Amino acid sequence: MMGSLLCATLFLVFIQCSYSLQLCADSRAPASLKAPLEFCGYSGSSCCSGKDDSAIKKQFEGMNVSDSACASLVRSILCAKCDPFSAELFTIESELRTVPVLCNSTLPETSSHSKDTTRDFCAQLWDTCKDTSMLNSPFAPSLQLNARLPIPSSKLTDFWQSETDFCRAFGGPSNDESVCFNGKSVLFNTTPDSPSPKGICLERIGNGSYLSMSPHPDGSNRVFLANQAGKIWLATLPEEGSREFLEVDESSPFLDLSDEVLVDTEFGIMGVAFHPNFTNNGRFFVSYNCDKVQSPSCSGKCACNSDAGCDPSKLGPSSNGVQPCQYQSVISEFTANSSSSTPSKATSASPYEVRRIFTMGLPFTNNHGGQLLFGPADGYLYFMMGDGGNKGDPLNFAQNKKALLGKILRLDINNMPIQSKIDDLGLWGNYSIPKDNPSADDSELQPEIWALGLRNPWRCSFDSEQPSYFFCGDTGQDGYEEVDLISKGGNYGWRVYEGPNLFQPSSTLGGNTSAASIDAIFPVMGYPHSALNNSVGSASVTGGYVYRSTTDPCMFGRYVYADLYAGAMWVGTENPESSGNYSSTMIPFKCSDSSPIPCDTDPETSLPSLGYIFSFGEDNNKDVYVLTSKGVYRVVRPSRCNFTCSKEYSTPGSGNAPPGASSAARYFGNLQAMTKLSFAAAVLSFLLLSS
C-alpha cells in the first residue's frame, strides 16, 4: 500500500515510478546473440535479431538524414528498439511509442540536471536536428497518433514550434527513478545494499494444513484457504502481535468439491483464483483433478494426442493400473452470487460449476502443476502446467510446441466463444485466446501457450509493485531446483537443461531437442540438491513472493522461497537494482515467543519444525504467510525473534514506531533515507497518507 501511495503521489508531481527488467517492447525476454548486430552494434542479449537489425538499417538509410551529427543521433534512437530494456524505453502508461522516451532534464522537477548532456538528450537532439531534413520522420505527430501514412521530407521545426513542445511530446524525466534514453544502451549502476535481513521471524496462527491462500478481493483482512482434499474456506486473519488465532470454521466451507476432486499425492485442488472484478461479478475459478472412471463430467481430450505427435494407446497403464488420461486436470468457474446479492458479503458459494473452462487428460500421474493466477496488468488467467510426469519427461512434452504440458498457459475468460465453435477453434474449453499471445508471432506454438520448457511449476507470483516480474518456482528432477523470471514466449530449458545444467534423459521416446536449437532462459535463483541436508533425501522448490509488506522492512523487495521437504528458506536479492540479476542465500528463521500457537521445534536444533512447506500466501497488506503441513505461519516483525533490522522503527507506514510516536514522526523519521524523492513529493505523500 505504501508503494502504491508513493507512486500515486509522485505522479502528481510528474515523477514517474519506474521499475525495469530486461524485457522487450513485445513483452518477450531479449535473446542471446551469437554475434554482435552489424548495424546497431548490440552484443550479448538484444531485442533484435539479425533480420531486425537489417530492417533498421534499411529504415535509417531510407530516411536520408542530411546532417551527419543528426544522423548519428537518429541512428541511436532507431537502434534503441534492440535494447534489452526496450519495454521500459518504449512503453509509457501502457502506450507503445514509436521512439523511446528521451531523457529530458528541462522539466521543472529535474532542472538540477540541466548541465548534464546525457540527461539533456532530448534538448541535444532538438538543437542538432531541428533544421535537418529527413524522410519519413519518426518524430511526426501523426505517428504518435498511430497513423502509418508516409511522411515526406521534413524538419523537426515543421511539426514542433519549440524545444519545449518537442520534449514534452518525446521526453521523460531523467531522474534515478526513471528509465529514459540518452543515446546509449540502458545501463544500471550498482546500488548500495539496504540492510540485509538477519533472519525471518514467524508466528503460528493456525493448525490447519492448506495448499493455497488468496486474499479476499474486497481488500479486507479475510482470505480464502483451500486444502488439497477439495474444500475452500473463508477465514479472517488476526492482527499481527495480537496473540489471536486464525478465524476459520472448518465445519462450514465456502465451497466443498470433495465429491468431485480426486485426492492423491499430487492430485486435489491445485489452485484458486478470484476474478479481478469479483466484488461485482462474484466469479472465481478452481483448478483440480478428477477421475473420469468415477465422474461422467470428468472427460477431456488427452494431452497425448495426434496434434502433439503422441499416441496414448502406446503409453500403457501406470504401475498402479491407471490408464493414460484417466485422470484429468480441470479448471471450473463458480459463483458467489447465488448466496448473496453482494459477492463480497457472501460466506458460501454454489457448489455447481457455472461452466467448464478447461479439461485435459494427463498421460501420467505426476507433474501437472495446476496453479491459477490473474495477471495484474492484463487481467488474463494464467494456468501453470507441468510436463505430465514420468522420469525425465520421456515424451519431451515440455519442448513440444503443440503440447500444452510443461507450459504456462494464458487464457481470456472474459470473452467466451460460441459453444458450437469450441471444437472448430481447437480449444480445450470455454475461453478465448488473447490476441497478443506468443502464437501471434510463432505459428508453431499452440495458441494458449505463454511460456514453455518447464518441468513442474510449483507456486508462481507476480510482484505486486513490479508486475512485469513474474516468478515461478520450477521443481527439478535429480539435481537442481530453480526459480525463473517468466516472460512472453520464454523457453526455460527443460528437459534440455535442468536449471543451468545440461540434462541427459534416460528415454527419448518423444524425440530430443538440442541445446543449440533453443534460446534457453536460465533460472535467476535456485539451489542444487547437494546443498540440502534433510532426512527425506528429496528436494522440491516451493516458489514464493517478493516481500512488499512494511512489517519487516529489511525484507522489503526481496524474494522469499523455500524447499518443500527440507524446511529451508531462501531470500533472493536483485543487484543491481532493476536489473533482473539475483543472488540468493539460505536464511535462518525462528518462531516468536509470543506466537499465538507455540511452534513445534526440532529436538536436535531447537529451531522451528514447520513440516512440509506446501506454499506461500499473501494478504491484502502484503504480509507473507507460510502454508505447511503443521499449520499457517506469518512473517512478523524481526525484533519479535531478536533479529536486528535498523529500519524496523523508521519505515513509513510500518506501524512499528516506538510507543507514543505520531504518524508524522513515523513518516518523517525515515525522510533522510528517501533521497530520491523531491521535498514536494514527500510533503504531498504525507498529506495523502494522513488524510
Residue 659, pLDDT score: 38
Greater pLDDT, 86 or 11: 86
pLDDT computed for residue 605 by the predictor:
79
Rounded to 5°, the CA angle 218-222-223 comes to 100
In this structure, the number of other CB atoms found within 10 A of the CB of residue 93 comes to 6
Q: Which of 166-175, 411-420, 437-446, 641-650 has the lowest mean pLDDT?
A: 166-175
Is 7 buried (19+), middle (13-18) or exposed (0-12) by CB count in 10 A? middle
- pLDDT tens for 104-122 read 875 544 333 334 445 589 9
Residues 453 and 408: beta-carbon distance below 8 Å: no
Average pLDDT of 404-428? 92
The Cα–Cα gap between 538 and 393 comes to: 18
**What is the Cα–Cα distance from 172 to 185, expressed in whole angstroms?**
16
Q: What is the pLDDT of residues 562-612, one digit of tens each?
A: 999 999 999 999 988 778 889 999 999 999 999 999 999 988 878 899 999
pLDDT for position 359:
97
Tens of pLDDT along 328-375? 999 999 999 865 578 989 999 999 999 999 999 999 999 999 999 999
- In 3D, which of 88, 83, 47, 46 has the Cα closest to residue 178? 88
Least confident piece of the model among 162-166, 306-310, 411-415: 162-166
CATH 3.30.465.10, domain 200-641, yes or no: no
Cα Rg, the chain, nearest whole Å: 27
What does each C-alpha distance from 529 to 185, 365, 457, 534, 682 come to in angstroms?
38, 23, 17, 10, 47
Report pLDDT for 684. Answer: 40
Instruction: Flag whether pLDDT at 295 surpasses 50.
Output: yes
By DSSP bridging, strand 222-226 and strand 212-215 are antiparallel
Pairing of strands 355-361, 301-302: parallel
What pLDDT does 245 receive?
97
pLDDT of 193 reads 56
How far is C-alpha 385 from the geometric centre of its chain's CA atoms? 16
Which has the minimum average pLDDT: 37-41, 199-203, 259-263?
A: 37-41
pLDDT the model gives residue 45: 86
Angle (nearest 5°) at CA 43 between 37 and 45: 110
What does the pLDDT read at residue 173?
Answer: 67
Across residues 149-169, what is the average pLDDT?
83
Q: Residues 472-529: pLDDT tens digits?
A: 999 999 999 999 999 999 999 999 999 999 999 988 888 999 999 999 999 999 999 9
Sort strands 301-302 and 457-462 into parallel, antiparallel or unpaired: unpaired
Give every CB contact of residue 346 below 8 A, 6+ residues apart in sequence: 282, 336, 337, 339, 340
Pairing state of beta strands 541-546 and 559-563? Answer: antiparallel
Range scoring the smallest mean pLDDT among 229-238, 294-303, 455-464, 534-543? 534-543
Which of 298, 541, 301, 269 is CA-nearest to residue 404? 301
- Tell me the three state secondary structure of residue 571: strand
Residues of the chain with CATH 2.120.10.30: 200-641
Helix (H/G/I), strand (E/B), else coil: 54: helix
